[in-house]
């Protein structure tokens, strides 16, 4: 029997993703986002531009634009969106503490890449919404349809989604929408089909333990699965690293342990599916992902 990897469910393959994928640029002139606690808003109100510059050091989790991430092999995007309170119209922005670029601009960049690379497939995970009423959601959903059109893959059984299935239907985009409105549109996948358990720790060894535990539980759900290989700063972490920021205080020093864990993984029913990280340019994750998928290919060849 010949094994064809493009007939394997995408939930059993390995993809690389970025955490807060859009945070490569934040607007220091806009107000602090509605995703922040009142105390943070008060502090930035007092310290103004200085406060926002310090916030930027902890809000930015990526250096590369969408285009650069796509060219480097990133295929899963973690997206958090918001309106700007008080702004007229229904414009929606990416947000992580501070406002980022307009969502439409980001989606257009992604669509341009997909139009040039018609065999490529991406996951867009809209998982946090702020200051958005039903009209904002209707606007965002219509925008997705306008930008991607027939590239949008209809929600279906997870195990049915293979590369061959997507290619046969000219689908390139799977949109996961963590909101009840996902039930009203066939091209929106319910958020529950893309769980992304969050360790919420600054301790890299607790993170690894958490990733292992949640991987061991994934088979029973029959969904896609995100392993968030990220550390989350506490208030103390931020205070101690106020000037150095997230990248130098938390990410770089713990990266060797995280990448060693990634290299030891295998895709499959009880294995990794999507791995997200901060500052994806710091390590050649793409090469690691290719090696792991090749290992899965060899294993299936041996079985068949």
Q: Could you tell me the two tokens for 43? A: 């502090």
Residues annotated as catalytic (active site), given as ranges: 19, 96
Neighbours of 210 (CB within 10 A): 18
Query: What is the rounded distance in angstroms from the CA atom of residue 44 to the CA atom of residue 49?
Result: 8
20, 101 Cβ separation under 8 angstroms? no
Q: Is residue 206 helix, strand or coil? A: helix
Q: Please tell me the distance from the alpha carbon of residue 269 to that of residue 296, in angstroms, as a whole number.
A: 11
How many CA atoms are closer than 13 Å to the CA of 43, on its beta-carbon side?
12
8 Å CB contact between 196 and 250: no
Round to whole Å and give the CA distance between 26 and 192: 29
The answer to whether 152 touches 134, Cβ cutoff 8 Å, is no
> If we measure between CA atoms, which residue out of 148, 216, 137 comes closest to residue 181?
137
């Amino acid at each position: 029997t010949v094994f064809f990897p493009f007939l394997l469910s995408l939930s059993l393959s390995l993809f690389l993703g970025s955490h807060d994928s859009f945070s490569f640029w934040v607007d220091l002139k806009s107000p602090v986002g509605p995703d922040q606690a009142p105390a943070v808003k008060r502090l930035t109100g007092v310290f103004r531009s200085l406060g926002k510059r310090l916030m930027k050091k902890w809000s930015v989790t990526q250096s590369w634009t969408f285009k650069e991430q796509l060219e480097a092999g990133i295929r899963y995007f973690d997206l958090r969106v918001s309106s700007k309170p008080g702004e007229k119209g229904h414009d929606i922005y990416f947000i992580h503490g501070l406002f980022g670029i307009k969502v439409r601009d980001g989606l257009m960049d992604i669509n341009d890449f997909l139009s040039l690379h018609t065999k490529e497939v991406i996951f867009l995970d809209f998982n946090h919404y702020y200051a958005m009423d039903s009209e904002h959601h209707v606007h965002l959903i219509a925008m997705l349809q306008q930008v991607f059109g027939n590239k949008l893959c209809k929600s279906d059984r997870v195990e049915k989604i293979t590369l061959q299935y997507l290619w046969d239907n000219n689908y390139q985009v799977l949109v996961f929408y963590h909101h009840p409105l996902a039930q009203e549109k066939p091209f929106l996948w319910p958020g529950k089909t893309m769980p992304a358990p969050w360790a919420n720790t600054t301790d890299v060894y607790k993170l690894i333990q958490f990733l292992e535990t949640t991987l061991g539980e994934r088979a029973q759900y029959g969904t896609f699965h995100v392993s968030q290989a990220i550390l989350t700063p506490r208030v103390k972490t931020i205070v101690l690293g106020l000037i150095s920021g997230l990248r130098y205080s938390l990410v770089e020093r713990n990266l060797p342990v995280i990448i060693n864990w990634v290299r030891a993984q295998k895709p499959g029913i009880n294995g990794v599916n999507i791995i997200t990280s901060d500052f994806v340019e710091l390590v050649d994750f793409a090469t690691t992902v290719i090696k792991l998928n090749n290992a899965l290919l060899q294993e299936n060849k041996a079985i068949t």
